[in-house]
Structures are given as C-alpha cells and as structure tokens.
Structure 1
Amino acid sequence: MASEPFNRPNSSSSSFTLVGVPSSESFPTCWGILFCSGYIITLVGNGVVLLVIGLNNSLRDSIHLFLAMLAIVDVVMVTSIVPKMLSIFWLKSTEIGYMACFVQMLLVHSTTSVESGVLLAMAVDRYVAICHPLRYQAILNRQTIAQIGLAIVVRALLFIVPLTRMVTNLPYCRSRVVPHSYCEHMAVAKLACADPRPSRLYSVAGSSLIVGMDMAFIAVSYRMILKTALRKKSCWKAFSTCGCHLCVLLLYYVPGIVSIYAQQFGSGISVHAQVLLADLYLTLPTMLNPIVYSIRTKQIRQAVLELLFSRKIHA
C-alpha cells in the first residue's frame, strides 16, 4: 500500500530522519570529535570577539561592528546544525521533527545569505578605509551601518522565506530519510511526492544571484584596495591581509557553490562528498573567521591582551 502524503506537523509520523555523513557510519565517534572540536573553537573565538567589542568603547567604528555581526551570524549558523549532528554521531538520535526540520532549514540558509552580505560589507568597508580615508567616517557612519545591516537581513529573508514555504508545502509520501547531516532544502525536497523542481530552480537561481553579486563586488573591492596599496608602496601588508581574507572567502564560497550545483544538476561527486562539502562551508569558515578577520586586527588583539592582563591583576 502506498504511503499517504503528510504536510502537517501534528501527524504522529511527521518527522524526518537525518543520516549524518552517508557512508561514514563505521566511525561516527571520529566525526563527532571533529565537529565538536570545531564547534568549541567557533564559540570561544567568536565569543571573545563579541566580548572585547562589547566591553571596549573604542571599538565602535564600522569594521568592528561588522566583525560583531559576523561573529553573531557564525554562532547562529553552527549552533543550528552542530548540536543535532553530534546527537546523530554520538547518541544515534537521527529523528528530527517536521517543524524543527524546516526551522533548521530557515536558520541555515538565511544565515548563509547574511554571512555573504556581511563579508561584502566588510570588503566595502576596507575599500573605503584604504581608498577614501578622509571620507571614511562620513560615508560609514552609524546610520549607514544600521541601514546596511538591515538591508542584509531583509535580503536574506526575502530569499529564504519563500523558498522555505515552497518546500514546506510539498507533500511527503516517500522515504523520509534525508541523506544529509542537516535539513538541507534540496535534500528534503527530493523526498516529496510532488514535483520539487520549482523550489530547486528558485533556490539555484536565488543562490547564484546572491553569491555571484557578492563575489563580484568583493573582487572589485579587493582589486581597488590592492591597486591603491601598490601606489602607496605598502603592497606586502596589503597582499598579506587580502591573501588571508581571500583564502577564507574561497573556503566559504567554493564548497557551497559546488554543493548547490552538484545536487541540482547531478555530477560525478558522490553524496558522501556533497554532504562533506556542505558541512565544510558551514563549519570551517566560522572557525577561521575570528582568527583571520578579528584576532589579526591590531585593535582587537590589543583589547584581548588587555582583558587577559586586567583579569590577572584582579585575580
């Protein structure tokens, strides 16, 4: 007898089963240790950044406010997936409720869009600071920063809310086993007994537009920064800083783009590799961002040392 479709959370069988990392069931403890270690590093690193920015009144310029936004987004992003992944690897708790799955989907994909927007805002901030230093305060004042932050969040919601609604409204009557470590929208949509192509095409088109636009503006910003740095004969510092930033950007964008297009159009990439790529672009950059963007910043590094030093004095 065919399974009946469900699309209501009050159904007793309204849940999905997450596989984790497919074809890696023989060593789940290792994956758990790996992701747990990364999660702790992410929480500590971003927590330190938020703490020093919150306590230090001198860290209120635009770049540090953008760094605080990035830290908040990173914490929300990894917290939306890693605890559930650890319960899969260590506790064999693979089931996730119907509504919980779509809430996780909303959080994951909205934070990825917000993160891309914040990375673009930070690149523009560095462009204005280096190429137009005399107008920096006038261009990037508190009101402008608030408007940029609001625009980034609104853009993410305008993209992901319709997508989540499209996937939520699909009837699910086939296998409810999601071959993924979290409720990735394409992996969930493939389980529907209706045609999932509209939501998948919307996802690819929207993701391509957001990522393509952000990457283009980031590339232009860094090109102008390097061009200005070469004129000022400070190319070594500029190459060092931009090189680190671009490496983290590539770790964020490339696995995500490959994962999206591989799932949509099919490729020689195995499901195992696709899931690892999706997990990589959500967890690795969030662990590296505090180091590359924040701790390497002189003001934050000094604020961290002052915080540690003052604690030793009062101990």
Structure 2
Amino acid sequence: MTPESLVGETQDLFSLPDVVRRINQLIDAPDTRSADLAEVIRFDPGLSARLLRVVNSALYARPQPIETVTQAINLIGHQALRDLVMATCMVDLFKGLPPDWIDMDRFWFQAVACGIGAGDIASRAGLSQSERLFMTGLLHSLGRLIFVTQCPNDYLDVLRLIEQESLESSVAEQRVFGFDYTRLSAELLKAWGFPESIWMAIAQVSMPAQATQYRVESEILHVAILIADRLMLNHVGGTVPTVDRLAEESQALAEYLSLDPEALDELPDAIALQVMDVFGILMPEASLIF
C-alpha cells in the first residue's frame, strides 16, 4: 500500500464538486469579474448563505452588514472566495462518515483552527500567502478521512496504539501503514490539481526544517497544527499530546520569521473567536458546545 494507490482507490468516492471546478476555472481566468463568480454561486443557495454568514462573522468584523453575494466577493477577494468555496464543499463531501470511525465535529474544528492559525501567522510575518496558508491548514488532515474510510480496520490499530502507548497519531500511522496522514493528504491534493506550494508544504510538515522547497509554509503549518491542538484542548476537551511542544516550537518559528515571540504565544486566544465563528458556519449542526 502506498499513498498513491490509496488515493487512486478514492477517485470515484471523493472527487471535487462541479461548483469548485467552475469557481477555480473562473478565478484562474484573468478577465473574470465578481459578477461572473456571483452568478455561479447563486445557483447554490446553501453556498450563498454560508458566504454571507462568513463575511459578516468575526473573521472579517465589518461595521456594516454585507447583504449580497457580489458585495461579499468584492470584500473578500477572489482567492479568499476560493478558500470559502473549498471549505464548504469539503465539509459536504465528507459528510455522513460513521461517528464510530471519526468525530467529524472535532475533525473540522481542528482543521478550521489550523487554517486560521496558519493564515494569521503568515499575516503577522508580513507574508503575502496568508490566504494560501489558510487553505493549506484547512485541508492538511484530509488524509485521515481517507484512512478511516478506506482502511477502517487497520485504523483501529492506529487508535489502539495512540491509546495504549500514548503515541501521536502520525507516529502510530507510520507504524501501521508506513506513512502518515499528511503524506496521504498531500497525495490527494496533488491528484486534485492543487498548487505544489500547498501539497508540498503538507507533505513536509512533520520535518519542516528539512524541507527542500516551501520551508516557510511547512514551518508555519507545523506550528499552526500545534495551535489548533491547543484550541481543541481548551474549548473541546480531550487529550492532545502535541500541545506540550507549542511553546518551544512557537519560539523557534518566531526566530525563523523574525517575529516577537509573544505574538505567537497569544495567538491561540487571539483567534479563538474567529475559529468558533467560522466553525459554527461550516458545521451549523455540530454538537460541540463552547
């Protein structure tokens, strides 16, 4: 079994929805107007409603409400629109997985927190790719969903190792499968045609200092995962072994990006409201209580 073969088995089960493909085509075209994008989105009432809820949420903190899809697109820009469409469609694409396989509420809470955390770090560092890093963080753990849908019995062995030996999930996955969820996530996004800067950053996140390309993105994603785990522990509960490394890894990243270390120390609290707001929009029926 390899990441490539496992992703190949999911092509019919998990493929990008038509609305995502159409939005991507329009955004990649140089002469696309906001009105063109709005016309596509209006055919999906659920997506339209979520777009308006997001732009009126704490993520953007607008003094005046945004009332139309075109206004929303003009406010957030085409790249952020792509992120939102992808986030919404990913939630729908993987909806309905058996709860005894994976808790999807916790999964998406962590993913949203990681995406917002990665984007925030990039913004604080003055980097131009904050929107791309939001998407990288949001989608970095999709491989875990492939594991549990395609190899549910083997993944039970992963869960046993995590519980019995207090291993991190990626270590347990390496032991059972020979590769972890980040390698699988990267392969899935590569197969879907995502930019190299996204899937390579994910593929290298377990050893970011050794990244041959996109090291900055991998380093930021690495710490964003720890920040998301801290938020998970603070607001959802449970045991997250990786959070003990957050202070040390944040210090190293602050030095690498020439940031004030306190800027990263405060980040879990700084983004908490945004995370809960966006999570509530993407997962309106979630059972998590804050």
TM-score band (shorter)? 0.3 to 0.5
Higher helix share: 1
Compare CA radii of gyration and give the structure with the larger one: 1
TM-score normalized by the length of structure 1: 0.30
